[in-house]
Amino acid sequence: MSARKVGMMTEDELIHVIRAAVREEFSAAGMRVDAPADVDEARRDFMFLRRLRGWVDGTASKIGGAIILAVVSGIVWLIVVGAQAFFNKP
């Protein structure tokens, strides 16, 4: 990266420079976005990742709910067993 100062740019020139930089970085990451077919593939990849994230979040939520249910059930069971032992003294 150079420390060279760039003069005034038009909006179109700035957009072109930004798009070229983003495409170069996507290419460096292994994602081609040169052709419309490549863009469609990238969109499908991102949609897959979004669905996967939703599935993982849902699964984590259900597992967390099951753990909370188990802890609350254990506490209720201890209270019931303790009450039975207290009231059924010989």
Q: Where are the domains of the chain?
A: 11-87
Query: Sorting pLDDT into bands at 50, 70 and 90, what band is 2?
Result: low
CA atoms within 13 A on the CB side of 35: 3
Residue 61 vs residue 88, higher pLDDT: 61
- Per-residue pLDDT of 33-54, as tens digits, reads 778 888 898 899 999 999 999 9
- Per residue in 56-78, pLDDT tens? 999 999 999 999 999 999 999 99
pTM of the model: 0.55
Q: What's the angle, vertex CA 66, arms to CA 62 and CA 69, rounded to 5?
A: 135
